[in-house]
Amino acid sequence: MATTTATSAPRRQGGKEELRASLLKTYLLRIRAERGEPAVRELLARAGVDGSQVDNERGWLSSDTTKRALREIADILGEDGLRHRGSWAIHSEALGTHVRMLRVAKEPIDAYRYLAQNAKETTRVAHWELEELPAPNKSELEVRLTYRPRTDNIDELPDSLDGPGEDLLSAAREGDLASFPVIWGLAEARVTRETAPETPSDPTVYRVRWSPVAGSGITVKVPAPVLGASAGAAGLGVLVGAAAQAPLAGLAAALLGGGLGFGAGVVYRRLERERAERTFERNRIAALERGLELRGDLTSMQGDLTGAVLGGKYRIGRKLGSGGIGVVYAAEHTTLGHEVAVKVLRGAAARDGSEIARLRREAYIQVSIEHPNVVRVFDLDQMPDGSIYLVMERLVGRSLADKLSRENVIAPGFAVPVFVQVCRALYAAHKKNIVHRDLKPGNIFLCDDGSVKVLDFGMGKLTTAEALTQQGYTLGTPEYMAPEQCIGGAVEARTDLYAFGVLMYEALTGELPINSPNRRDLLDLHQRMIPAHMRMKRPDLPIPESLDAVIMRCLKKRVSERPKSALELEESLATVDVGGLPMSYPMGTGRRAPTKVVRSRPIDAPTESSIEAPPRVESDEE
């Protein structure tokens, strides 16, 4: 094969640098996981490849070196193993070559377009041509990609093709093409080779088909909502019509079932879209981290800051906690001496515009609220390496999530005053047209002085302004999301009150009102499941009936049926008589009632009164 190297640079062992090492990296990672590092070293030794050449997937190898390595890999994984990379395509050590592509791509088709426009990032001996084809069956996308060897130096092309080596190289290219949809959490694309080259200068044509991300705009032959409507209508209509022997009753049932099915289909499409965006975002951040690591920047950006002085005035102390994108440190103002907390974006997040925008938004929102029950922000600045940090008031205590993890359930005598303070923070935010959108126990902080602080307005939305539009962000935690939020509808102040209702229910009973191990089912259940009343869920605990009623009102599916404002909710909570109620429970109080479990029920009861009535208690042996 010809190379595009025009200079007379010294020839390296194994030939000129022509192909990215990423072509081999996923296979070597799989072999390492399945057979161990010695097997990889032995394979590379047989192929005459220095291990350091493939450690960095952004490095370059000659075509001959790549073919030798592929022969050894095919002996272990088989030629079909070259065509199917599976989840190894998104291994954190294999994403370094995708950094630029993932900055601009929003759908798998964008990845193929990027490949055609930027072929030189993966090969120096050929270029790609892309032809976007009509959807073959209106439920898939399809492209034709032509791999055309460059003929700039045609005299350097070999006289004939190395049959086995070229076939393996083609199989590896097929594996590369098939892997793009996996970045979005989709199944691998189906790749077929339409033409095989007969001479070294002949092109190779591949046809690629894949199922699109749900909700991406493609017109499917039978949309999911229509399938849901048809199935619901047919099933319910047949059952009712047969049971009642009344065609009109069957027709009415069919229409009702169709409506329910259509709604379920819409929700399914939204959930699938959301899942793809989350998966893509996770892989995009992993690629950014890998890119920084290969450049040698990640180590310096992730080092311990203890003892450092930021902005010439904040001396960093011990680490208080860390998450996927940030680290929180205790710090001291070097001049004034007061203690603060410093949140620092680390790693790829410090270079990522969306995360920086989110931190700036958090600072702006929390400064604008100015309320004693909202954590105060003092400063926002940038470190010399580009990392952004946020300076906040130092809180001493623990989160509600931590208290729940230790005590399982919170006594109402302690809980109600806490809930009242949260209401005050929410009301202050809502007056500024700010919706928190991620209220959960981890964002409620119980200070040792008895005060309560609401944290993390990074997901907050100004209801009169545009939200962050970075692809891949799905705002909210599923267990606490209101029905309108689950389906991507408009959020408002009462959206927070639903989440707060879930939080209060969990704190007082030890269990979420609605739960499922499956995210898709969980968001669907928030649309249709009426949770059991707290007093029925935990008859062993002294939960006042008035408190039960207030919290169950927050959990109404219709926004209009919830409290009108956080102020109204605060007033309702204030009417609960906490005199004589316990401030804490004995050690060992469990998260569930000792002998009974209450089932929640879907919203398919025949009358409104039956929906509002407490569900029956069913005995279950623990």
Q: Residue 239 and residue 307: Cα distance in Å, rounded?
A: 72
Q: Residue 287 and residue 100: Cα distance in Å, rounded?
A: 9
**Beta pairing, strands 339-345 & 326-333:** antiparallel
Tokens 């030629």 sit at which residue? Answer: 79
Structure tokens at 351: 């270079």
Q: What is the DSSP letter of 408?
A: S
Q: Residue 112 and residue 118: Cα distance in Å, rounded?
A: 10
Nearest partner of 30 among 79, 107, 99, 93, judged by Cα:
93
Sheet containing 314-322: order of strands: 309-310, 314-322, 326-333, 339-345, 388-393, 377-382
Provide the angle, in degrees to the nearest 10, between the axes of the packed helices 412-431 and 566-574. Answer: 160
Nearest partner of 512 among 555, 574, 459, judged by Cα:
555
What region does 117 belong to: left with phi over 0, alpha with psi -120 to 50, or beta? alpha
Instruction: Tell me how far CA of residue 213 lies from CA of 135, 217, 218, 281, 357, in angstroms.
Output: 14, 9, 9, 14, 26
Choice among 176, 352, 438, 548 that is catalytic? 438
Task: Judge whether 438 counts as a catalytic residue.
Answer: yes
Q: How many Cα neighbours within 13 Å face the side chain of 237?
A: 19
The H or E element containing residue 146 is strand 141-149
Q: What is the DSSP letter of 123?
A: B
- 278 contact partners, CB below 8 Å, separation of at least 6: 185, 472, 474
- 268 contact partners, CB below 8 Å, separation of at least 6: 214, 224, 228, 520, 524
Nearest partner of 526 among 547, 556, 504, judged by Cα:
556
Residue 209 sits at the vertex; the CA angle it makes with 208 and 212, to the nearest 5 degrees, is 130
Bridge partners for 127 per DSSP:
148
Distance of CA 598 to the CA centre of its chain: 32
- 593 contact partners, CB below 8 Å, separation of at least 6: 537, 538, 539, 540
Structure tokens at 511: 């269990």
Q: Residue 351 and residue 341: Cα distance in Å, rounded?
A: 22
End-to-end CA distance of the chain: give it in Å, rounded.
69
**Beta pairing, strands 617-619 & 596-598:** antiparallel
Instruction: Tell me how far CA of residue 158 lies from CA of 31, 154, 199, in angstroms.
Output: 32, 9, 9
Distance of CA 69 to the CA centre of its chain: 36
Structure tokens at 18: 């022509």
Q: Residue 318 and residue 328: Cα distance in Å, rounded?
A: 9
Q: Do 350 and 421 touch, CB atoms closer than 8 A?
A: no
Q: Residue 416 and residue 579: Cα distance in Å, rounded?
A: 11
Active-site positions read 438
